[in-house]
Amino acid sequence: MNKQVITFCVSILIVLDSGYAENNDPLIFSTNDCELTEPVYGEKFNLKALHSDIAKVVKGGKNDTFEYNICGSLGRACNGDNNASACLRRGNQEFVLGTQHQLNYRRGKMYFEFSNGAKCASGDGEFKLFVFLGCDYTLDAKQSKVTLYSANACKFYISLETPYACLPEPETVKSSGCSVQDPVTGHNYDLLALSDFNYRTSDRHGNIFTVNICKPVLYGEMAMCPKASSVCLVKLNSTDYKKRFVDYGTVQPNPILENGNLLMRLPSPTPYNATHNYSSTIHFICDNEIKSSQLSFIGAKENVYDFSFTTPLACNNNPPCTTITHGNEVLDMRSLQGKTYELSMPLKNYTFGICSNAGQPCLSNDGSCLVENQQTTSMGRSNSQLRSDRSGSPYLLYTDGALCDGQNKWSTRIEFVCANNATKDNGTANGNGDSNALGPKIIENKNCQLLIHFQTPLACHEQIACKVKAYVEHSEDGTGEEVVDLTPLISATYNYEAEINNALITGQQVPKSTKFFLNVCRPLVPKFGLGCPGGSAACMAKVDSSSATPEEEKSLGFPMASLVAYNRTVAELRYLRGSICPTDNKTELSASIKFNCDMSAGLGKPILQTITDCLYEFQWMTNVICPSHMCTFNEETCEIINDDINFHYELKKAPFTDAGQIKIPNGKDEFKLNICGNHRKAETDYSQGLVNLFFTTEAPCGNANVQLRLICSGDSKRVINYDNAGKECNLVVHQSTPDICKFLRRAVPPPTAPDSGVSSTVATPTTTTTTKSSTAAPAGGVDNGGAHPAEQTGSIGAILAAILSLTCFVACLGVFAFSPERRNSVRRLFRRTTSAVRYSRVQSNEEANLLLETNGEFTDSDDELLL
């Protein structure tokens, strides 16, 4: 294991063991009580409310069960000790993890340290448990999470997210919603899913903004912002900790729509001068292609600070019957459309459709209706607007049905429930209310609403988190906590093919004909001919030079353990419980992928480095995991310069400009935006594959704050958000172009549309979108991120080959059809290649960088990684 990683993790553990005994620092202290007064504002955190008559129970790895209570004992004996406040159950044995605990505070982070545990057989000391408290206003279903640990661990780490670790939440935002409905289209913009994380962006003057959407900033390590503050300026160089965090915007309960623009206006109580206070405006910008929402500081105009927040949640052009949930996941119910579903209760029959009219016997516009005594009653009009609730679960709401009680009208709510393995394998959609059946089931029909649960695998979220928090003691911005996000590496169209270390081939550990296919945080993309066990995220197969079709496929594991961030630039994924290991039939194959930052690597690709017993270890150098980087802007030549990789980009020669100028439509007129000039700030965002350029310029609306986003893309497309309504004067230009890819060390992605040479323009009062068709990739071809040649987009020859293959395939089926034994072989083949595996979602853990014991090593067993 990398020595730097070991040193980092060991140093964290040493700090923990020392109890943060920095007596001279008022931001670091401990208490034996269950409450403390935080030092910045004098707010009291009373954690006695976390005590319960029923202890908290959390499942760990290797079928371990952790049981703990806060501010008191378990209420039962653990291994005969009635004073135990934390207990580990491992098989038939119990181990006391602590009989007392100490509450610690370290620069906003609070945690309990349980001590006086049982003797640890594999270490020099006793068992210990650390429970880290995280602020969470929305109360996720799974509040306690165990950090990964080795089989011989003596210390265990649990994170507990709770409102009791937050500053008081204003009454105005305590509701479970944060949305606004477009009165013209009826589309509902729901932004509550964005409140799970704090977002940070630089003010480009040595300070940062910490921002939360829909909730106050989540109190925590170096995020001790004033209560009710949703936009917080952190003065990194301030020596007075009571003046380090400044409220620049008070939280608001819902976004608003102004002139078709989605935004939030956040006034602040902080004075700007004798007559005005500071305020912030967050402009939400639609981007269906971005995989992780991005905050940027556009600029300030006197006391008003403007931010752009790019997210798919700001889009209203999503396909009907789809919704975007937590983590920007798209849930799609369109395959359930066009069917009529019927459910029965005694003397009542219900008919409904999914995102469409119910059909007979309902009325033409009904999404749901009741048939009773040969009479039809509307239970709500149909629509195709799939929504998601606070937990991210999708649902449909049909309203405006027939009168129910003389005053209110009937409505139908259809909630889609994720089908687990058992229900998917054994259930059938029968509408009889069987608890284990796939399909719809009536839950209740009261208070003028029919509630239906529809159980389907389509409602299942992705299995593991690919975006986690990492504690960084000496990060560039000094915040202490950053986010490691590998979602841009998730592929939905192709699989990555790993390179192989030559030493493994020459050492005959890997035959030359063996290929390795991987995806990141997700199962492999289904491809014809690649028969890896369904749900596998990594797979090896034999591919002869005479045929491109993989054979003898073996799974190297499934995506069951979330991404682990060791620090800001190093992270690891483990895929577990693959096929039986050929050298040890009692062990399953598994894979480990270690991601390292390399700004010159582009997306990079996996390389198989070592094989240890039945564990295949890959290394992946990529700039996706690298932090954002401020570049130099040469005002004379109009060049963006990345000094670290010694690369330049000349804006005057960019194909989307005319000698460094861009035409911006303004109603029936237009004006020219000069990208070149003084006081430009350039920043690379490797995670999203783009370069930001910030500056101010004169525009028809006055002195405008400008953000130019240069996005690496196979298409040439421009989206312009020009907000000139009222006192606003902001311009955000999204320029997708293949030309910037080389600067970001990325290959040009495949275009998303054929080159038709046609441009289109769509305008609103304050937003203009100009789109140009895709451009061809430069000579040398498109790097498909390591996809196997058989998975790349084919030519005419490939299409003909597919037709011939299909003809042979049908002929073979005819031969096999006359033999029962052969028919069974065909059945087994299809079952193997079309099987699917689903696992419950594993949430990320913000203490995941504390996963190692002091020896800094995992054990050979993978079972302890399953959370």
Task: Report residue 742: phi and psi, to 5°.
Answer: -60, -35
Q: How far apart, in whole angstroms, are the C-alpha atoms of residue 48 and residue 42?
A: 18
Q: How far apart, in whole angstroms, are the C-alpha atoms of residue 428 and residue 437?
A: 5
Q: How far apart, in whole angstroms, are the C-alpha atoms of residue 357 and residue 786?
A: 45
Tokens 């010694």: give the residue: 646
Label each residue of 126-141 as H, E or C: ECEEEEEEEECCCCCC
Asked if residue 251 lies in contact with residue 230, where contact means CB atoms within 8 angstroms, the answer is yes
C-alpha 839: how far from chain center: 17
Q: How far apart, in whole angstroms, are the C-alpha atoms of residue 217 and residue 11?
A: 28
* Start-to-end CA span in the chain (Å): 22
**DSSP string computed for 554-579:** EEEEEEEEEEEEEETTEEEEEEES-S
- Which residues lie across from 596 on neighbouring strands? 570, 621
Asked if residue 259 lies in contact with residue 766, where contact means CB atoms within 8 angstroms, the answer is yes
Judge residue 376's burial from the number of C-beta atoms within 10 Å of its C-beta, 0-12 exposed, 13-18 middle, 19 or more buried: middle
Q: How far apart, in whole angstroms, are the C-alpha atoms of residue 262 and residue 265?
A: 10
Asked if residue 614 lies in contact with residue 583, where contact means CB atoms within 8 angstroms, the answer is yes
Nearest to 109 by CA among 178, 49, 214, 27: 27
Q: Where are the alpha helices (DSSP H) in 386-499?
A: 421-426
Q: How far apart, in whole angstroms, are the C-alpha atoms of residue 370 and residue 690?
A: 53
Q: How far apart, in whole angstroms, are the C-alpha atoms of residue 415 and residue 433?
A: 15
pLDDT of residue 562: 80
Query: How far is residue 350 from each of residues 266, 380, 432, 524, 611, measured CA to CA in Å?
Result: 46, 12, 12, 40, 58
Asked if residue 770 lies in contact with residue 720, where contact means CB atoms within 8 angstroms, the answer is yes
Task: Report residue 506: phi and psi, to 5°.
Answer: -65, -30
How much is the pTM?
0.71
Question: pLDDT tens, 627-654?
Answer: 888 999 999 999 999 888 888 999 999 9
pLDDT of residue 262: 94
Q: b/e for 650-682, b at 16 or more Cβ within 10 A?
A: bbeebebbeebebebebeeeebebebbeeebeb
Nearest to 691 by CA among 647, 749, 624, 630: 630
In 273-404 the beta strands, taken as DSSP E runs, fall at: 277-286, 294-301, 304-311, 322-324, 330-332, 341-345, 348-352, 368-372, 375-378, 387-388, 394-398
pLDDT of residue 277: 96
269 CB neighbour count, 10 Å cutoff: 11
Helix 820-834 to helix 796-816 angle (10° resolution) is 140
pLDDT of residue 472: 55
Asked if residue 573 lies in contact with residue 593, where contact means CB atoms within 8 angstroms, the answer is yes
pLDDT of residue 81: 94
- Residue 240's region, left for phi above 0, alpha for psi from -120 to 50, else beta, is beta
pLDDT of residue 710: 95
In 272-312 the beta strands, taken as DSSP E runs, fall at: 277-286, 294-301, 304-311
- Could you tell me the two tokens for 734? 């999204």
- Could you tell me the two tokens for 803? 């037709």
Structural domains in the chain, CATH included, are 3-166+851-865 (2.70.130.10), 174-318 (2.70.130.10), 330-459 (2.70.130.10), 467-623 (2.70.130.10), 629-744+749-774 (2.70.130)
Asked if residue 34 lies in contact with residue 44, where contact means CB atoms within 8 angstroms, the answer is no
Q: How far apart, in whole angstroms, are the C-alpha atoms of residue 81 and residue 232?
A: 47
pLDDT of residue 752: 73
**What are the residue ranges in the chain where pLDDT is below 50?**
1-21, 421-436, 473-479, 754-771, 773-801, 803, 810-867
Question: pLDDT tens, 511-544?
Answer: 888 899 999 988 888 777 777 887 789 999 888 8
Amino acid at residue number 282:
I
